[in-house]
């Protein structure tokens, strides 16, 4: 096997690789767009798009795990297929400390990808569980409740209880309604 990459071409809808397949190469996309997809039941979810001058399948070089997603050409794609076997010869000359650094970065990226996927599932589950429930306040309910509270979090009200509080410095943010202003002025002694 030669160490040179092979120029390959894909038509729209053609797979570069399928989810679950063993990994043996990566692709440098020279022209076109590739969809990265994960199976979800009988359908798929697009998790990324790869464009010209981007690489796809590179993390598999370091962990040699089966493909975690599929790569499907969305347009006519021209790519360089780089076999792991040819990279192994080059990688063998890399110092061990650099291999450790590269492997740690690859592992961290794989874990970050897994965390993002897990969080996306949790957000979807949370959105599904709260949609349509009548016990949860709507956005307009929250805004209405917020408008009924002053800047200190105390309810705005015309009751005498709220007026018995010790007077504080007036703040433009805490100006009450006109009826509050009238009752305050009527309670002040005239000089």
Q: Which two tokens stand for residue 126?
A: 């949370």
Q: What is the pLDDT of residue 28?
A: 97
Please state the pTM of the whole predicted model: 0.58
Please provide the size of the chain in residues: 191
Query: For residue 62, is it within any domain?
Result: yes
Q: What is the pLDDT of residue 154?
A: 58
Q: What is the pLDDT of residue 78?
A: 98
Query: For residue 78, is it within any domain?
Result: yes
Q: What is the pLDDT of residue 34?
A: 98
Helix locations, 58-95, DSSP H: 59-63, 84-91
* Tokens 């492997």, located at residue: 103
| pLDDT by position in tens, the chain (length 191) | 457 899 999 999 999 999 999 999 999 999 999 999 988 888 888 989 999 999 999 888 888 888 888 999 999 999 999 999 988 888 899 999 998 998 888 888 888 877 877 777 776 666 666 555 555 555 555 555 555 555 555 565 544 444 444 444 444 444 444 444 444 444 555 54
Q: What is the pLDDT of residue 97?
A: 95
Domain that holds residue 20: 6-93
Query: For residue 47, is it within any domain?
Result: yes
Q: What is the pLDDT of residue 75?
A: 98
Query: For residue 148, is it within any domain?
Result: no
Q: Which CATH number fits the domain that encloses residue 81?
A: 2.60.120.10
Residue 27: count of CB within 10 angstroms of its CB? 23
Query: For residue 172, is it within any domain?
Result: no
Q: What is the pLDDT of residue 191?
A: 46
Query: For residue 50, is it within any domain?
Result: yes
Q: What is the pLDDT of residue 182?
A: 46
Q: How many domains does the chain have?
A: 1
Which of 103, 58, 104 has its CA nearest to residue 83? Answer: 58
Q: How far apart, in Å, are the Cα atoms of 3 and each of 83, 86, 153, 172, 180?
A: 8, 5, 69, 74, 84
Q: What is the pLDDT of residue 122?
A: 72
Q: Which two tokens stand for residue 101?
A: 């650094």
């Amino acid at each position: 096997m030669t160490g040179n990459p092979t120029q390959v071409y894909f038509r729209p809808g053609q797979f570069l690789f399928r989810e679950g397949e063993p990994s043996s190469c990566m692709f440098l996309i020279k022209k076109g767009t590739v969809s990265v997809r994960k199976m979800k039941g009988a359908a798929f979810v697009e998790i990324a798009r790869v464009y010209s001058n981007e690489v796809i399948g590179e993390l598999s070089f370091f962990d040699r795990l089966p493909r975690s997603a599929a790569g499907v050409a969305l347009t006519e794609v021209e790519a360089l297929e780089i076999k792991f076997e040819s990279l192994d010869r080059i990688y063998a000359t890399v110092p061990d400390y650099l291999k450790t650094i590269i492997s740690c970065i690859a592992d961290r990226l794989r874990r970050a990808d897994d965390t993002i996927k897990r969080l996306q599932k949790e957000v979807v589950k949370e959105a599904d569980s709260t949609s349509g429930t009548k016990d949860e306040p709507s956005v307009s309910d929250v805004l209405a409740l917020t408008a009924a509270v002053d800047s200190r979090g105390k309810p705005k009200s015309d009751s005498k209880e709220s007026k018995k509080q010790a007077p504080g410095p007036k703040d433009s943010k805490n100006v009450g309604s006109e009826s509050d202003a009238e009752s305050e002025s009527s309670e002040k002694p005239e000089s």
